[in-house]
Structures are given as structure tokens and as C-alpha cells.
Structure 1
């Protein structure tokens, strides 16, 4: 294999690895969606509501949020070091701001934070991520563009990747995964309704607005049973295996707090996942429900197709013109 081919291949491998790790982080940030500050005035209590009243409020919030289909979002997620940090793509803090929509999934967000560069100092410090028609586009920055024909945008069509692999089951999981990846506030509220200990914590102000604060806890098993998306993606035996794997990780459950304003919209949602290595904290604030979420993909001339990169690495892995049998990764 010639020196030029080797360098080109290494560049492609480096770019592919950076893209995949960044995609994992971005997807993790979107899918999990805390800080220790629970509100501007968390001590303000007010009259506690009964369980039936709580159910009515959260149900109303679910209906309003489902109908809105989109909102502006700001999110902060912190992940402790250790195995959990590795599983999420990197420990540290992640921030996300932008607009996201659900039913169908669409988004235009910017992800930043120490978790992006924790495992790779060459990784971009921030990534703009677009999601449209089940395809993700990521602006990987000028450094990555050097290994991608000068193109800083990467296109990842996971459906196409799965189909190219010839795995119908994987393709189905990818399709379902794209639909359920965006854990929008409506889905979170629906799962919160299944919490057996859902309760009202009183009134509180969030960004100056009066809200009512609620909290519920779901065990791993309860969460999985509430998540209809898992039933579409995985067989019963696969769900049982996933449950066992999560149990082995030491995760006991999910604590969710939500602040609902006077218009029945959730304006803040915190999710804490306690692990033996520390707590994964996610805090999201929502505003401007019903905001326009039309996403315009980058020009094809500015985009590097990840599928083509995989195909190219596969050919290079066969030794190119100079022999050799190294694999692409």
C-alpha cells in the first residue's frame, strides 16, 4: 500500500471515529433529555394536590405538549467518569440549545461542552446537528474537514447504513430508533404518569414564571414497561436481556421532576439517573411551544456522506493496490 493511500486511510479512519463518537454523544444528549438548582424559588410550597389532581395536571400537560409538536429547548447534561461515561460517549458536561420537534422528529440544535473533547482533544468543541427526514447532519468543523475532502458537514442516514449491511432486523431497529431517539417532553410525561409515587411538591417560579412542581420515580423495569418504543424495537427476550444488563450496571431507577406552567405546558424537566459511579443529571427547559422547526439540510456539495466513507474504508481495508489485509477499523 502506498504512503499516500495509508495517510488517506488513516485520515478517513480518524474522521470516521470522530464522527461516530460525536454522534453517540449527540444522540445521548437528545435521548436523555440536571442541575442541582431545582428552581428560582424551590422553597415556595402552596397547597399540595391529591393524586387524582396530579394525574389530571400531568395528563393535561401531556395532551398540550403532544399537540404542540415542537419547542425551543435548552439542556444541560452531566455524566460522571467511569463505565457510564464511556457508555455515553464521554464523561463531563454537555449543553444543547435550539429547536426540536416530535411526531415527526426534527431538530436544529447546537451541542457543546467538555464531554465532546474529553476523549479526543481534536474533536470539535461544539457541533451543530440537524435532523430531517430520518437523516442526521453534523457540522464537524474545519479540522475534520481536512480528512473529508474539505467538507465539514457529515450526513448519517442510519436507515441506509442498516439496509446496506443486509440486516432487516437492524434496519427496523434503526428506523424505530430514529423515531424514539428524541425523548420529547410528551413521551417523558406519559412515562411519568406510570410512576406509582408521582406527587406534587408545591409551587415554584422558573425564570420568573409561576409553575407547579411534580416528582416521580420509575424503576428500570417500570420505565421499560412504559416505553412503548422498546416493544417495537426489541423482542421480549431482548428486552429481558437489556433489563439484566441495566441491572448489572447498578442503575436502580429514574427520578423525574417537572415544572408545569399555568398554560399546562412543562417549562422545565430534570431527570436524574443514579449509578454506582455517580448521578447522570439532565436538566431541560422548554419555551415557545409550537415554534417552527423546518430544517434545511446543508448543500450536497458541502456534505460528506458517511455511507461513502464506510464503503471507501472497506475497499482500503482490502489492501488497495499494494496488498495488505488490515481491516477498516
Structure 2
């Protein structure tokens, strides 16, 4: 197998890792969010962050652009409790003609490279990313290949809780999102503010805060603009995050289709899977 045959799956794997870290805890509502006049926009957003702790799984779709990856569309089922798992169908407009499947299970990412990958890997179309604690993983981090690998283990509620830490949260308007009437909120927050221990008081754990800061620093992001559309059940129906990064703009929108439904994810057959760590070791030996 040559180096070229690895590039598309590696890029797709990174995009999947970023999506896993950027997924948000959302919910569906039936009527417009009816907030008490005494509840400020900041309090309303904080209430959403608090309630997100009850979410165990999400079925969502997303669309937007990732710095260094370009346009991307996907639909995914993700489980956060008792352990993180995800199954995603991802489409990269202009780069691939068919959706690419990505799975996260047992702290490993599996990317389906399709027929092209199978031709290069003796009939194996799946590539496994499980590089934690290996020298190959350190080298790939330096290459920028899987620098955000730890984001895959981060709770999808982390990004939504970040908005609760913004000082300028405001109500924008009301809108119908995917058939659900919602209240639209917006706020901005700097990565410098996020990089302070006091930020954990906003419902973000110290581990979530640290990982989020690491991710955005790596991407070259200084400030985030976040929009949240909330249903009357105090759960988000839609979430948008925008920022300028070193490799271009980031603009991702997540729309939740369902939540707290059973999610089952299985690893691909071993006979159809090639381990990236072993592949890189073979290249090193050569």
C-alpha cells in the first residue's frame, strides 16, 4: 500500500473526530419556547446546559465547513452514556461521490474507504484509527493527522455548555426549525476566557474545558460565535458555531432529529479492517 492510499481516510477520520467533538446536546419541542419574562437569555441558555446532563444519545444531522477539510454533510447516531459510540454517514461534496461511513466504538475510529481502499489493502475497505499511546500516534499528531483524537471521547454536551459561559447572550428572534417552533439565542466567547479554571462554573467540567481549549488552539481559533435554537422543553433543536481559524472559516450547524433512543454500534469485521498503526509501522520499517 502506498502513502497516497491513506490520505483520504485520514482526512475523513479527522473530520469525523471534529464532528464528534462538535456535536451538541439538543432536543425536540412542539411549541415555541415560552420563557418567563424574569428569565434572562443567559439564564435560559444555562437551563439548557443543565438539562443536557440528562441526554444519553442523539440522532442528528450536520452541515457546514471545517477548516482544512472544506464542505461536509453528515447524519449520525451518537451515544454518550454509558460509553461513547457513534455511527455516521458522511459526505464530502466535491471530494467523494458516495457517502463515507465512520464508526466510533471502544475508543477506536473506523473509516470505510470503499472499493478504492479495498483495492489498495488486499480487499480490506475499513481503516482503524487506534493510536493512543503509540509512537505512530505521536508522529501523526505532529503531522496534524489526529491531533484532535481526544475530542472523540468528549461529551457532546460540552459545546452547548460553552455558550452558557458567554457574557453577551441575547435573544435574536423566534423561528421554526425542522417543524419545531423555537427561540433563537446568540452569544460569543473567546478562547482566552475559556482557558480559565473559573469557566467550569458554567456547567463545563475541567476536562471538557481543557479539551475544548486544546482543540480550538490547535485550529487557530480565537473567538467563537454560537447560535442556539431552543424548544419549549428547554432542549436545543439546533446549534450553530462559527469562527475564523488558521486554515479558513469554521461554520457548522447541527440539527437534532431525536434523542435518548437506543444506539448500537459494532466494529467492522476484522477480516475487512486494516489497522493504521500497523500500516504506519510498516512504512517506517520500509
Q: What TM-score, normalized to structure 2?
A: 0.78
1:148 to partner: Cα distance: 0.9
How many angstroms apart in 2 are the aligned matches of 1:102 and 1:176? 21
In the alignment, the residues of structure 2 paired with residue 229 and residue 111 of structure 1 have an alpha-carbon distance, to the nearest angstrom, of: 28
Change in Cα spacing, 1:276 to 1:193, as seen in structure 2 (3 Å) is same
**Secondary structure at 2:262 match in 1:** coil
Quote the residue 1:3 is aligned against: none
Contact 2:14 2:148 in 1 (8 A): no
Match of 1:109 among 82, 88, 91: 88
* Partner secondary structure for residue 120 of structure 2: coil
Matched, 1:76 2:54: no
Paired residues of 1:45 and 1:204 also in contact (CA < 8 A): no
Q: Which runs of 4+ in 1 moved over 6 A?
A: 44-48
Closer, same or farther in 2 for the Cα pair 1:268/1:26, shift >3 Å?
A: same
Q: Give the drift of 1:98.
A: 1.7
Partner deviation per Cα, 1:228-254 (whole Å, 9 max, x = no partner): 3376569xxx97xx85x77xx5x5411
Q: Which residue of 2 aligns with 1:254?
A: 224
Equivalent position of 1:61 in the other structure: 48
Q: 1 CA distance for matches of 2:278 and 2:248?
A: 39
The CA deviation at 1:78 is 2.1
Going from structure 1 to structure 2, the CA distance change for 1:65 and 1:166 (only over 3 Å counts) comes to closer
Task: State the Cα distance separating 1:131 from its structure 2 match.
Answer: 0.3
1:324 is matched with which residue?
Answer: none
Tell whether 2:173 aligns with 1:188.
no
* Corresponding position of 1:310: 280
Secondary structure in structure 1 of the residue aligned to 2:256: strand
Partner SS, residue 150 of structure 1: coil
Secondary structure class of the residue paired with 1:255: strand
**What residue number does 2:169 align with?**
198
Does structure 1 retain, via aligned residues, the 8 Å contact 2:241–2:253? yes
CA separation of 1:49/1:220 partners in 2, compared to 1, >3 Å: closer, same or farther? Answer: farther
* Residue 148 (1) aligns with residue 138 (2): no
Give deviations 1:104-123, integer Å, cap 9, x for gaps. Answer: 321000111226x2xxxxx6
Pick aligned residue for 1:132 from 105, 119, 125? 105
Extract unaligned runs of 5+ from structure 1: 1-10, 34-43, 80-84, 118-122, 317-329
Query: Which secondary structure state, in structure 2, belongs to the residue aligned with residue 263 of structure 1?
Result: coil
Residues of 1 paired with 2:175 and 2:91: CA distance? 29
1:210 shift after superposition: 1.6
Partner of 1:158, secondary structure, is coil
Contiguous gaps of at least 5 residues in structure 2: 24-31
> Alpha carbons of 1:310 and 1:278: their partners in 2 closer, same or farther (altered >3 Å)?
closer
**Number of residue pairs matched by the alignment:** 264
In the superposition, the TM-score normalised over structure 1's length comes to 0.69
Partner Cα distance (1:26, 1:125) in 2:
16
When the two chains are superposed, the root-mean-square deviation of aligned CA atoms in Å is 3.4
Contact 2:13 2:102 in 1 (8 A): no
Q: 2:16 aligns with which of 17, 22, 26?
A: 26
The equivalences for 1:284-323 within 5 A come to 284-316=254-286
